[in-house]
Amino acid sequence: MLLTGATGFVGRSLLRELVFRGHEVVGTSRSITAAHESLPEHVRFVAVANLIGGEDCAKLLHRVEVVIHCAAVAHGKVGDTEAVNVEATANLARQASVAGVKRFIFISSIGVNGCANARPYTEYDTPEPVESYARSKWKAERRLWAVQRDTGLEIVIVRPPLVYGPDAPGNFGALVRFVGKGLPLPLGAVHNKRSLISRDNLVDLIITCMGHPAAANQVFLAADGEDMSTSELLRRLAIAMGKPSRLIPVPSSLLKLGAILLNKQPVAMRLLGSLQVDITKARECLGWEPPLSVDEGLRRCFAQDQDKP
C-alpha cells in the first residue's frame, strides 16, 4: 500500500502500526531527512516534493492496492493549500485508478462539516466549511467523488476533529504547554462540549477502513466517543501530566468579550464553543469502537518513547 505524509503527526504512527500488523508499505514525504529519522528501516521510502506531477505518482502506484492519503498543507498560503490539498489529491486518485488501485482512503477534516454546532455533526449534514483548510478538504472530497463516478475507484473519506497524541501540534500542543507551565487559566467555568480523537484511535479506524467491504464509497466521522468541556479536558490533561490543575472560573461571556476586543474570536470559538461528532455510522457500518478511552489516550501522550522507531 501507499501512505502519503508518512512522516507527519498521524502518518508516522499509522506507518508503524501498519508495519506491526504485517502490511508492506511504501511511505512518502517531502523531506528525506524526516524520513530517515521517522520511518522504520525496512520500509520502502520515496521522497516526493510535489504529488501534482504525474510522473512521481505513476512510479509510486506500481502494484499498490490501497492508498492512504494523509499528506496535506494545514497552514500555508491559499495557493499552496489548493495545490496540495485539492489538485494533488485529485491527481493522485486519478492515477491510482489507472494503476489498478482498489481503494483510496482520504484523511479529511471535521471542518468540512463546520466549526461549531448545537447538536453533534453526522455524515449526512450539509457541509459548511468556514476556514480555508476545511474548504480545501471539501473541494478535494468533491473531486474524489468525481473520480469515483468516472472510474469506479473505491473512495473512503475520514473526517477527524482535533487529533491528540504525543508531541501533538496546534491547539492541543498549546494546551499542553500551558498546563505544563502551571499557568492559571480562566477556563474553569466553560461548559461547552467538544469531540476529540486520540491518534491511536484514528489510526485504528483508518486501518479498519482499509479492508472492510462496507467502507467502500463512504464518509466516516471520527472521534473518541466521549465529549468533554474545555475545562474538563484541562483537568484530565493535568492528571495525565501529573500537574496541578489551575483553572479560574471566569464566565464565558466575559471571555468572549475579551476575545472580541483582542480580535481573537477564532481562538475563543475553539476554547468556548461546542463541536460534537456522532460516530454512530462507524460503529454500525464497520462494527468499530474506539479502542482507547480518553483517559488512556491522554496518558499515552506523556508515556516515554511513543514516537521512537
- Residue type, position 261, single letter: L
Per-residue pLDDT at 110 exceeds 90: yes
Q: Structure pTM?
A: 0.92
Name the grid cell of 236.
Answer: 484530565
Output the pLDDT for position 259: 87
| HSE-up (13 A, CA, CB side) for residue 288 | 27
Pairing between β-strand 66-69 and β-strand 196-198 as defined by DSSP bridges: unpaired
Which domains, from first to last, does the chain contain? 2-165+196-227+276-286 (3.40.50.720)
What count of Cα atoms within 13 Å lies in the side-chain half-sphere of residue 193?
Answer: 13
Q: Give residue for cell 454512530.
A: 280
Q: Is the pLDDT of residue 309 over 50?
A: no
Give pLDDT tens digits for 44-81.
777 776 666 555 677 788 899 999 999 988 876 556 78
Q: Which residues are catalytic?
A: 133
263 vs 140 pLDDT, higher one: 140
Could you count the other beta carbons within 10 Å of the beta carbon of residue 267?
A: 13
| Count of beta carbons in the 10 Å neighbourhood of residue 27 | 28
Mean pLDDT of 36-40: 57
pLDDT tens digits for 214-225? 999 999 999 999
**φ/ψ of residue 100, rounded to 5:** 90, 15
CB atoms within 10 A of CB 275: 24
Q: What is the pLDDT of residue 177?
A: 92
- pLDDT interval class at 296 (50, 70, 90): very high
Distance CA 175, CA 11 (A): 22
Mean predicted lDDT score pLDDT of the chain: 90
Band of the pLDDT at 305, cuts 50, 70, 90?
very low
Segment 136-155, tens digit of pLDDT: 999 999 999 999 999 999 99
Query: What's residue 79's pLDDT?
Result: 63
C-alpha cell recorded at residue 240: 495525565
> How many Cα atoms are found within 13 Å in the side-chain-facing hemisphere of 200?
16
Task: Name the least confident of 31-40, 239-248, 255-264.
Answer: 31-40
| Mean pLDDT of all residues in 256-260 | 90
pLDDT at site 308: 44
